[in-house]
């Protein structure tokens, strides 16, 4: 998830999802900036698939890093990388999947290795509208629920047999206004036995939570992580942003920008250098 510009002297950590990142890569290519892009992913097959779909660029050179965030953090501290100016970037709102104290600790790990002039560019979900959040995670077509149920299919692969029967399970999504987060759980429609463990009907198995950050919470997160905010690009309401710069809009990747906007509307982007 890293790219380094020999011209600008920047190393940048990026998500490996090319559909989003390619918008930036095409814009960088258009500006004729020499960049080395590294995609970090825990799934080797997904990493290889992503890189195989990368267009052939003249100025952007793409490579992969197979490992976890912690592996990426260690890689950035290696002698060949640590001295390079860098920008750590995450376009999605993945930081919201951490518990709040864990998010600060996670970002703090990167903050400690940043040098003066280095930056981070992060997406933060700031939407606290209960109805909007609830429907975003519980869409009428059931896409998000199917995504969560897919985790049971993966579990079956790990077990080597159909331990989880999808027809026996349903997804429950709830918005917690007090905690400012959305909870997703799986619950069986009847009592089930999983590897000798009984899970009762309607018992909820916690899957994930997505925290939303208002302005005060964002400031607190930066303070706890040891980061200083440099700029923000929210929408007029202030619950999401991610608006491309004009020079990107007239590029050939305009249609992907529109897809990007639809996929990642509830996002506020913050760029903040360590000082």
* 103 and 142 housed in the same domain: no
Of the pLDDT bands very low, low, confident and very high (cuts 50, 70, 90), residue 47 is: confident
Q: What is the pLDDT of residue 231?
A: 76
Of the pLDDT bands very low, low, confident and very high (cuts 50, 70, 90), residue 93 is: confident
Which of 188, 211, 234 lies at the terminal end of a domain, its last residue?
211
Report the domain count for the chain: 2
Of residues 116 and 151, more confidently modeled: 151
Is 224 a residue whose pLDDT tops 70?
yes
Pairing between strand 169-176 and 119-124?
unpaired
Cα(126)–Cα(211) distance, rounded to whole angstroms? 9
Q: What is the pLDDT of residue 39?
A: 83
Q: What is the pLDDT of residue 169?
A: 97
* 56 and 111 housed in the same domain: yes
Cα(231)–Cα(220) distance, rounded to whole angstroms? 16
* 106 and 33 housed in the same domain: yes
Average pLDDT over residues 95-107: 92
User: Comparing 125-134, 227-236, 241-250, 252-261, which segment has the lowest mean pLDDT?
Assistant: 241-250
* 17 and 110 housed in the same domain: yes
The gap from C-alpha 111 to its chain's centroid, in whole angstroms, comes to 18
Beta strand extents in the chain (DSSP E only): 2-5, 10-15, 35-41, 60-66, 86-90, 119-124, 169-176, 181-188, 192-194, 197-199, 205-211, 231-233, 268-273
Of the pLDDT bands very low, low, confident and very high (cuts 50, 70, 90), residue 17 is: low
Q: What is the pLDDT of residue 267?
A: 35
End-to-end CA distance of the chain: 23
* 85 and 198 housed in the same domain: no
Which of 211, 235, 253 lies at the terminal end of a domain, its last residue?
211
Which of 159, 193, 211 lies at the terminal end of a domain, its last residue?
211
* 38 and 160 housed in the same domain: no
Average pLDDT over residues 254-261: 40
* 141 and 162 housed in the same domain: yes
Its domain, for residue 21, covers 2-127+212-273
Of the pLDDT bands very low, low, confident and very high (cuts 50, 70, 90), residue 98 is: very high
Of residues 161 and 215, more confidently modeled: 161
Cα(145)–Cα(124) distance, rounded to whole angstroms? 22
208 three-class SS:
strand
Is 241 a residue whose pLDDT tops 80?
no
Mean pLDDT of the chain: 79
Q: What is the pLDDT of residue 261?
A: 42
* 18 and 98 housed in the same domain: yes
User: Comparing 73-77, 122-126, 145-149, 233-237, which segment has the lowest mean pLDDT?
Assistant: 233-237
* 226 and 244 housed in the same domain: yes
Q: What is the CATH number of the domain that holds 247?
A: 3.40.50.150
* 58 and 164 housed in the same domain: no
* 12 and 123 housed in the same domain: yes
* 174 and 222 housed in the same domain: no
């Amino acid at each position: 998830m890293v790219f380094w510009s020999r011209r600008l002297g920047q190393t940048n950590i990026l998500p490996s999802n090319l559909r989003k990142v390619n918008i930036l890569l095409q814009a960088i290519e258009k500006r004729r900036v020499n960049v080395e892009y590294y995609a970090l992913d825990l799934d080797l097959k997904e990493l290889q698939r992503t890189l195989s779909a990368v267009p052939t660029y003249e100025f952007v050179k793409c490579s992969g890093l197979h490992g976890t965030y912690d592996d990426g953090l260690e890689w950035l501290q290696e002698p060949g990388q640590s001295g390079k100016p860098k920008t750590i970037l995450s376009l999605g709102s993945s930081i919201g999947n951490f518990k709040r104290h864990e998010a600060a600790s996670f970002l703090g790990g990167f903050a400690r290795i940043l040098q003066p002039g280095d930056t981070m560019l992060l997406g933060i979900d700031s939407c606290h509208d209960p109805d909007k959040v609830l429907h975003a995670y519980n869409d009428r077509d059931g896409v998000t629920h199917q995504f969560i149920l897919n985790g049971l299919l993966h579990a079956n692969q790990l077990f080597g047999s159909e331990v989880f029967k999808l027809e026996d399970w349903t997804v429950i999504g709830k918005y917690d206004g007090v905690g400012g987060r959305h909870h997703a759980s799986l619950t069986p429609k009847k009592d089930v036995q999983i590897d000798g463990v009984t899970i009762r009907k309607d018992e909820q198995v916690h899957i994930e939570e997505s925290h939303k950050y208002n302005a005060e919470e964002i400031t607190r997160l930066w303070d706890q992580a040891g980061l200083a905010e440099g700029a923000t690009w929210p929408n007029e309401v202030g619950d999401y942003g991610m608006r491309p710069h004009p020079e990107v809009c007239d590029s050939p990747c305009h249609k992907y920008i529109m897809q990007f906007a639809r996929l990642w509307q509830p996002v506020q982007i913050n760029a903040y250098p360590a000082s």
